Structure 1
Amino acid sequence: MKLCMVGSSGGHLAHLYLLRPLWGDRERFWVTFDKEDARSLLEGERMYPCYYPTNRSLKALLKNTWLAWRVLRREKPDLIVSSGAAVAVPFFYLGKLLGAKLVYVEVFDRIHKPTLTGRLVYPIADQFIVQWEEQTQVYPRAKCLGSIF
């Protein structure tokens, strides 16, 4: 099984990295910002840099959609995993179109309100994971697996 791990650098990437027991022995590649923290954390990993800043940026969305199309067609992942943020959206929608399974992990610090990315990918995610039981009120078909930290 080939994995695509996609997320912004910083806390989102840290979330994904903490899932190492689940991805550590599988073929994988990463999509994240080309920033020092990502380069350091993912040293020796295969990484595709995505465009930022993504916060409500139509320009970055268009660039990342094109990137997603190229990368997903080349790599053909079986599973795409993300914890956000906006860069996950084009990878999830195009990944779904290309037949990949999608797992989204909602961030730890949003308990009572959904994130924008969470709202956008929730309808198409094959598995939507939350870390607080209260988050299941926001996302009724989510599975609460507790804190990643």
Structure 2
Amino acid sequence: MKILLISSTGGHFQAIQKLSYFWRKHDCCWVTFRTDSTELILKDKKVYWAYSPTNRNVPNLIRNFILAWQVIWQERPQLVLTTGAGVSVPFIILAKLAGTKTVFVESFTRVKELSLSARLVLPFLDVVYVQWEQLTTKYSKAKLIRI
């Protein structure tokens, strides 16, 4: 299966790495921000460097929508897996419109409410995995996972 992995840096990047038991056996490519650590960790992987910052930055939102269109068209993933952040929004929307399965793994820190990025893309998600049971009763697409 071809999987597109999307995360920002820091905790989101660490979370998607913890999910490697799932994605490591598949053909994967990455979308993240270019930092010293992501360059080092992903040096042998196929990576598309997203534009940052994404918060309240309309030009980068537009750039990331263009990048998302190019990546979805070129890679044609069967699954998009993200651990969130604003960078994932254009990719999830365009992937779903292209008929690709979409999965969002919410941060451990989200106990009572989904993150803004998860709420923005919720209509475009096949499933959102959460790490707190109370979120599964609040959101119909939410399934419990422990990472």
1:48-81 deviation line (CA, Å, top 9, x unaligned): 0000001122111100000000111011000000
| Residue 116 of structure 1: aligned partner | 116
Matched residue SS, 2:133: coil
Root-mean-square deviation (CA), in Å?
A: 1.1
Matched residue SS, 1:123: helix
Query: Which stretches in structure 1 are left out of the alignment for 5+ residues?
Result: none
How far apart are the structure 2 equivalents of 1:73 and 1:123? 21
How far apart are the structure 2 equivalents of 1:75 and 1:49? 14
1:119-141 deviation line (CA, Å, top 9, x unaligned): 01112211110011122244233
More helix by share: 2
How far apart are the structure 2 equivalents of 1:72 and 1:99? 10
1:62 aligns with 2:62: yes
Matched residue SS, 1:122: helix
Query: Which stretches in structure 2 are left out of the alignment for 5+ residues?
Result: none
| Residue 100 of structure 1: aligned partner | 100
CA contact (8 A) 2:50 2:87 kept: yes
How far apart are the structure 2 equivalents of 1:138 and 1:36? 38
Matched residue SS, 1:63: helix
Using the size of structure 2 for normalisation, the TM-score is: 0.95
Using the size of structure 1 for normalisation, the TM-score is: 0.94
1:20 aligns with 2:38: no
Aligned length: 147
- Percentage identity across paired residues of the two chains: 40
How far apart are the structure 2 equivalents of 1:114 and 1:97? 22
Matched residue SS, 2:103: strand
1:4 aligns with 2:4: yes
